[in-house]
Amino acid sequence: MGETLPDDFERMWTDLAEVGRSTSSGGYFRQPFASAERECHTWFCEQATARGLRLEHDGNGNTVAWWDAGEGDAVLTGSHLDSVLDGGAYDGPLGVVSALADPDDWLTGMMRAPVVIVPCSSKAAYLKRYAEDDKGWADEAESRWPMPFWHMDTAMAALLILQTCVDEGLGACYFGIPPERVAAVRTEFGIDPAFDPVGVITLGHRVPDTGNAGSPARRRRKPIDDVVHRGGWART
């Protein structure tokens, strides 16, 4: 694929973000053969053609892009571009964009997760709570806090979620939101301005652990004396 093509997932997702989106509800109206759905269809054909894919149309309005890579087994992947009335952003185009983006194994797994949790912290709620009578402080001064405990408490709640998944024999992954994507996450999930997303947790069924790069399966742990200091940092 050429360097000028929008090969990465984020840029292609942005291409479709406003097509058929309601300015009042934020939902999508991409009914079959309506103007918004046709615009998405035109976009798909342009993306497929730019990648050298062979387009095939049937009498029902379906379009398939074929990668003629030779003989042997093939994978058919994708989805639809139309939506239900006032549908969500992931209603259809997620599968199409993912197929064109050719995501790696990790991203593919994340997109298949049946449960996605976005833990959020609120500095305002935290400061207000500790200014109540039973906490003993009468103001909401942030200077009382040497560290952002509102983030720390949310992180500990996220850890409990991960540990519970392990106890239940499930698979889970915590990962951060790239800074340039935080605004999009806020918009997509309608996150209250007083709350900040601290990351994302995906939940699902476990897969065989092959040992990702940098994980304990491939890299030795530090000796315990390097991470546990008794009586003082440099003392043993």
For residue 178, being part of any structural domain is answered with yes
Could you tell me if 89 and 119 lie in one domain?
A: no
For residue 236, being part of any structural domain is answered with no
For residue 232, being part of any structural domain is answered with no
In order, the DSSP letters of 69-111 are --SS--------S---TTB-TTSSHHHHHHHHH---HHHHHHH
75, 103, 131: which is the final residue of a domain?
A: 103
Could you tell me if 25 and 74 lie in one domain?
A: yes
Q: At what angle do helices 9-16 and 35-50 cross, to 10 degrees?
A: 150
**pLDDT, tens digit (0-9, with 9 covering 90-100), for 96-106:** 887 787 656 66
Could you tell me if 72 and 50 lie in one domain?
A: yes
In terms of residue numbers, what domain contains 161?
115-205
Could you tell me if 20 and 89 lie in one domain?
A: yes
For residue 95, being part of any structural domain is answered with yes
> Structurally, how many domains does the chain consist of?
2
Model pTM? 0.55
**pLDDT, tens digit (0-9, with 9 covering 90-100), for 133-191:** 888 777 778 888 888 989 999 999 999 999 999 999 998 889 888 787 788 888 888 89
Could you tell me if 14 and 91 lie in one domain?
A: yes
